[in-house]
Structure 1
Amino acid sequence: MTETADAPLPDDTDAVRAALIEWYEAGHRDYPWRRTTDPYGILVSEVMSQQTQLDRVVEAWDAFLDRWPTVDALADADRSEVVGFWSDQRLGYNNRARYLHEAAGQVVEVYDGAFPEDPDELQELMGVGPYTANAVASFAFNAGDAVVDTNVKRVLYRAFGVADDDEEFERAASELMPAGESRVWNNAIMELGGVACEKQPRCDEAGCPWRQWCHAYETGDFTAPDVPTQPEFEGSRRQFRGRVVRVLGEHNELTLDELGPRIRVDYTPDGEYGREWLRELCSDLTDDGLVELRECDGKTVARLRQ
């Protein structure tokens, strides 16, 4: 597809906006976090969604909020329990659970339990970057800027020939978003990318509201920026990292040779998957602030950091 550094948006921008919002409001995927304006629940959903399919997030989100229903409850929770939950639910890197727990503590201690509403101030929370801050500001407070995620980039690239450049995506997304409507707009354009403008587009089947303006629909060229794929979980280092956290959560502390067989049946101290392999795995978790390693009587001992 031909792209330009300053691709013009359609002249009838109001019609483009109205068409998308009408399409979204007529019927969209019903995720529970779309039914709330509670910033805590929305933050949890955003962090969980960073590395997990949304349909899988629903069950984990419900279970998480059943266990820690408020930001105060999460702040008071034992960190190892939060990390253990994260690992059991296979929600991606466990340091996100740690950051979420620390962010809850900040909200309680620094902001007296009330989330800041401004995207810039939300970024002061541990582990909250520009995208997540903007999403929380948009969906909780209707006070965000245009969200630009992978789905939004794909839509803008295909529909209007916006260059595969972060600044250009930001510019185009901001121009398109109607003032003061970040909640519905950001939900709508992300829904468009997730339902109609997927990697394999479903323009007619999903009733894409932008077909009359879309360059890709007109030309049949549905190329789009590359989208990173999530590595296989089974057998991955991420899977074994999660097992380490879970096992250490069940025991006060373990030597590497006590820990190894509990996370891998083919563990042998001097084998390919032995002490050195496990030491490197635990060192990664140490760098993330999740595990402590110490030497005792010539043996390496691991425990969860409290």
Structure 2
Amino acid sequence: MTDVADLPDDLPAVRTALIEWYEADHREFPWRETTDPYPILVSEIMSQQTQLGRVEEAWAAFLDTWPTVAALAEADRADVVGFWTDHSLGYNNRAKYLHESARQIVEEFDGEWPTSPEGLQELMGVGPYTANAVASFAFDNGDAVVDTNVKRVLYRAFDVPDDDGVFEATASELLPAGESRVWNNAIMELGGVACGKTPRCDEAGCPWRAWCHAYEVGDFTAPDVPTQPSFEGSRRQFRGRVVRTLGEYDELALDDLGPRIRVDYAPDGEYGREWLRGLVDDLADDGLLAVRADGDSSERDADGDERVLVSLRR
């Protein structure tokens, strides 16, 4: 039996927090407003290779053209493939499989949809992930969905090792019995809104911050996110401070800017004038700052060198 990662002791609280977060506010996609397996299957097939924002328009147009599974089954396959191509929905085989699946539902299953992941996998081109998604969202009868977003969430939140078996076992342990529809929607939403490649923990009000390992230690790497240097104390952090500080002033000399962005600034120290000039020059190269020498010969820095003045480029 595959090991399950260590999870918080109070799993009911973990589950409740995520579901309440999702139900309070989530992205509204039309396929989330139905339990009809046909439009849900169409959305799942389309979204395999296309961003959700683009899927919405294509999905609506597809259902306008073939509003029921019976209508799709009766369609000319060339028309279905042509639609797929016209809407840049990826490999045309997916259109062929979707059309064939519709025919199977009508001709082999007498219009009755399988309701389990295993049954749905009998449809042409429907693999384990898609079958489970349709079983979850149409029939509330699925297992835990484990996609890239869900792996990222589990890896960060509960320090789950990068192992497919452990991901699946842990996701199954977290899934509340009989609630696959809301749960799978919620954890996928968490990965898409709050725990993306660039995390938005506080901005999105992530409901798992109290338990999240990554939030505690400040390391948000994940299987699909390369290791990044810590933001705290990084050049990125101080570049941002330079820009914010200069937003409050028309112009500052280096020695006046330094203490405002770093408390241990010392003109001749490790984090002094040379270090700061490097940051400033980088920002100037990026077109964000203007750097000029002070034309007033009476104005010199502590070493008697000509002062350098810095301002935002507006």
Q: TM-score with structure 1 length normalisation?
A: 0.72
C-alpha distance after superposition, 1:23-54 (max 9, x if no partner): 00001000000000000000000000000000
The equivalent residue for 1:219 is 217
1:193 maps to which of 191, 194, 197: 191
- In the alignment, the residues of structure 1 paired with residue 24 and residue 31 of structure 2 have an alpha-carbon distance, to the nearest angstrom, of 18
- In the alignment, the residues of structure 1 paired with residue 5 and residue 119 of structure 2 have an alpha-carbon distance, to the nearest angstrom, of 32
**Residue 81 of structure 1 pairs with residue 83 of structure 2:** no
C-alpha distance after superposition, 1:66-107 (max 9, x if no partner): 000000000000001000000110111110000000000000
The equivalent residue for 1:110 is 108
**Residue 153 of structure 1 pairs with residue 165 of structure 2:** no
Unaligned runs of 5+ in 1: 229-306
1:69 maps to which of 67, 89, 101: 67
- In the alignment, the residues of structure 1 paired with residue 106 and residue 118 of structure 2 have an alpha-carbon distance, to the nearest angstrom, of 18
Is 2:197–2:224's contact at 8 Å kept on the other side of the alignment?
no
Is 1:150–1:227's contact at 8 Å kept on the other side of the alignment?
no
Q: CA deviation at 1:6?
A: 4.7
Partner letter of residue 78 of structure 2? S
The equivalent residue for 2:136 is 138
Is 2:19–2:186's contact at 8 Å kept on the other side of the alignment?
yes
The equivalent residue for 2:267 is none
- In the alignment, the residues of structure 1 paired with residue 75 and residue 109 of structure 2 have an alpha-carbon distance, to the nearest angstrom, of 18
Is 2:153–2:195's contact at 8 Å kept on the other side of the alignment?
yes
Aligned-residue RMSD, C-alpha:
1.1
Q: CA deviation at 1:204?
A: 0.3
The structure that has the greater radius of gyration is 2
**Residue 15 of structure 1 pairs with residue 16 of structure 2:** no
**Alignment identity in percent?**
79
C-alpha distance after superposition, 1:254-292 (max 9, x if no partner): xxxxxxxxxxxxxxxxxxxxxxxxxxxxxxxxxxxxxxx
- In the alignment, the residues of structure 2 paired with residue 118 and residue 6 of structure 1 have an alpha-carbon distance, to the nearest angstrom, of 24
- Cα 1:63–1:197 change in 2 (3 A) is same
2:37 maps to which of 39, 48, 71: 39
Is 1:147–1:186's contact at 8 Å kept on the other side of the alignment?
yes
- In the alignment, the residues of structure 2 paired with residue 23 and residue 155 of structure 1 have an alpha-carbon distance, to the nearest angstrom, of 15
C-alpha distance after superposition, 1:160-210 (max 9, x if no partner): 011111110100000001000000000000000000000000000000000
Is 2:8–2:211's contact at 8 Å kept on the other side of the alignment?
yes
SS in 2 for 1:10: coil
- Cα 1:216–1:227 change in 2 (3 A) is closer
Is 1:138–1:145's contact at 8 Å kept on the other side of the alignment?
yes
- Cα 1:227–1:126 change in 2 (3 A) is farther
Is 2:148–2:224's contact at 8 Å kept on the other side of the alignment?
no
Partner letter of residue 56 of structure 2? V
1:202 maps to which of 190, 193, 200: 200
Partner letter of residue 49 of structure 1? S
Aligned runs of 1:289-304 on 2, under 5 Å? none
Partner letter of residue 6 of structure 2? P
- In the alignment, the residues of structure 2 paired with residue 78 and residue 127 of structure 1 have an alpha-carbon distance, to the nearest angstrom, of 18
Is 1:75–1:101's contact at 8 Å kept on the other side of the alignment?
yes
The equivalent residue for 1:274 is none
- In the alignment, the residues of structure 2 paired with residue 6 and residue 71 of structure 1 have an alpha-carbon distance, to the nearest angstrom, of 39
SS in 2 for 1:56: helix
The equivalent residue for 1:272 is none
SS in 1 for 2:7: coil
The equivalent residue for 2:52 is 54
Aligned runs of 1:162-173 on 2, under 5 Å? 162-173=160-171
- In the alignment, the residues of structure 2 paired with residue 46 and residue 7 of structure 1 have an alpha-carbon distance, to the nearest angstrom, of 29
C-alpha distance after superposition, 1:213-260 (max 9, x if no partner): 0000000000000279xxxxxxxxxxxxxxxxxxxxxxxxxxxxxxxx
Q: CA deviation at 1:114?
A: 1.6
The equivalent residue for 1:94 is 92
Q: CA deviation at 1:7?
A: 2.5
Is 1:6–1:163's contact at 8 Å kept on the other side of the alignment?
no
